[in-house]
Amino acid sequence: MNANAIMNTYARLDVSFVSGEGAWLVDTDGNRYLDAIAGIGVCVLGHAHPEVADTIASQAATLLHTSNLYRIPHQEQLAAELVRLAGMDKAFFANSGAEANEAAIKISRLYANKKGIANPTIIVTDGSFHGRTLATLTASGSRKVQAGFEPLVNGFVRAPFNDIEAITKIADNNANIVAILVEPIQGEGGIRVPDSDYLTRLRSICDAHDWFLILDEVQTGNGRTGHYFACQESGIVPDLLTMAKGLANGFPIGVCLAQGRAADVFQPGNHGSTFGGNPLACAVGLTVVRIIQEQDLAKRAAIVGDRMQTAFAARLGGCQRVKAIRGKGLMMGIELDEPCPQLPQQALEKGLLINVASERVIRLLPPLIISDEEADQIVDILGELIETIQELPR
Ligand SMILES: *Cc1c(COP(=O)(O)O)cnc(C)c1O
């Protein structure tokens, strides 16, 4: 193997996998790893899921792509299913989370421009992550993602995450605001869970000002947090909702859902995507969405997630280096008191795949199909690893 021809965008671990099954991956030497990150929250049904594989094979043998010049039955079906689940009206399909967010941003601007707002501005939050395109990296609240790519895109203002007062202050002082874009739980930002009334209060503020509430559920969607969409725990419906990662278990897809005023903003010529919503991606999406519901995997995520958080709390509650254990369902973070960039490699050596977000937060996004035993194994291996660091001199 030779990585020289690959652009240096990722600090990769020196391992590669040749196959997988459920929550397990097998490397080139035949070693097995328990996958507690699932391709960054993507493989919700685990690896090599037989029905996903069958869908891909049979759809590929039937029809891959026709373009959006024509009607696409699988796209219409997946759209209908997702808007039904979300209690929303319409869907636009793209190929990634960043593109789904671009669609939401463009809808907000188009709506505002039609209303005569001169400088449509979207409120975004500290610590957020919305993607790597120019607009979505501008919307992201991390200098690391933005640095060196100036000039950034106009039309965003930033507020602290989980701070309603900051939003009200902006509302009083800026007549150009058209939307708030926020993650229900920040993922890349370090699994930050806001107050339980945060989304409800954002919904009221948006209603009072005729702003769009845009929820980025790229990471939290598809059952991961214990509901099909994380916002369903708050009982609110956003105007725009984006999802991607787990939607087709690894087949690239993204979607922007819209309701009410936001649903009919785009007209032919306003937006598009060559690949977006193609028959293959949507067929896989339909299979994944059906299985998540048939097996009630959102509920399963809530139960296993609680089991793991309780076990982590019991085991690591006394560790001085553990600052917090948090999350919802199978979206969990363990915050340490200092950066731990070495931890994914150490876990790898013990047969466990994890990731670190925001430098010091161990992030777990296992497949929603993990068994109780596998969940306990994750707690055991990671618990032991953290206890070992605890004993090391600083
Ligand atoms: C991963 C992620 C994105 C970006 O998705 P891509 O498919 O990598 O473009 C956007 N928002 C959130 C919350 C994410 O977790």
Say if 3-48+296-391 and 63-294 have the same CATH topology.
Answer: no
- Token output for 226: 């214990």
Nearest residue (by CA) to ligand 1, atom 6, is: 97
Contact 78, 247 (CB under 8 A): no
Q: Which atom of ligand 1 is nearest to the CA of 244?
A: 7
pLDDT per residue over 332-366, tens digit each?
999 999 999 999 999 999 999 999 999 999 999 99
pLDDT per residue over 110-152, tens digit each?
999 999 998 999 999 999 999 999 999 999 999 999 999 999 9
Mean pLDDT of the chain: 97
Q: 158 by DSSP, 3-state: which?
A: strand
pLDDT per residue over 283-300, tens digit each?
999 999 999 999 999 999
Please give the pLDDT value at position 1: 66
CA distance 148 to 88: 38
Please give the pLDDT value at position 366: 98
> Any idea which of 52-66, 279-293, 379-393 has the lowest mean pLDDT?
379-393
pLDDT at 393 over 80: no
Q: Give the mean pLDDT of 10-36.
A: 97
- What residues are in contact with ligand 1 under a 6 Å CB criterion? 96-98, 101, 129-131, 183, 187-188, 216, 218-219, 244-245
Please give the pLDDT value at position 392: 73
pLDDT at 390 over 80: no
Q: Give the mean pLDDT of 8-19.
A: 96
Please give the pLDDT value at position 361: 98
Please give the pLDDT value at position 389: 84
Q: Which atom of ligand 1 is nearest to the CA of 252?
A: 7
Residue 35 has, within 13 A of its CA and on its CB side, a CA count of 28
Please give the pLDDT value at position 245: 98
Question: CA 197, 162, 129 angle in degrees (round to 5)?
Answer: 120
Q: Which atom of ligand 1 is nearest to the CA of 128?
A: 13
Please give the pLDDT value at position 206: 98
Domain ranges of the chain: 3-48+296-391, 63-294
Pocket mutation for ligand 1, best pick of 136, 142, 188 (most atoms within 8 Å of C-beta) = 188
Q: Any idea which residue has 């199909």 for tokens?
A: 369
pLDDT at 391 over 90: no
Q: Give 63-294's CATH code, choosing from 3.30.950.10, 3.30.365.10, 3.20.20.60, 3.40.640.10.
A: 3.40.640.10
Q: Please tell me the pTM assigned to this model.
A: 0.98
- Token output for 394: 């600083």
The residue among 6, 36, 30, 18 whose CA lies nearest residue 343 is 36
Q: Give 3-48+296-391's CATH code, choosing from 3.90.1150.10, 2.60.40.10, 3.40.190.10, 3.40.50.300.
A: 3.90.1150.10
pLDDT at 394 over 70: no
pLDDT per residue over 231-245, tens digit each?
999 999 999 999 999
Name the helix (H) or strand (E) containing 307.
helix 297-316
Task: For residue 327, name the pLDDT band (cuts at 50, 70, 90).
Answer: very high
pLDDT per residue over 143-169, tens digit each?
999 999 999 999 999 999 999 999 999
The residue among 235, 170, 180, 174 whose CA lies nearest residue 207 is 180
Nearest residue (by CA) to ligand 1, atom 11, is: 130
Measured in Å, residue 232 CA sits from the centre of ligand 1 at: 20
Measured in Å, residue 218 CA sits from the centre of ligand 1 at: 6
Please give the pLDDT value at position 28: 98
CA distance 246 to 181: 20
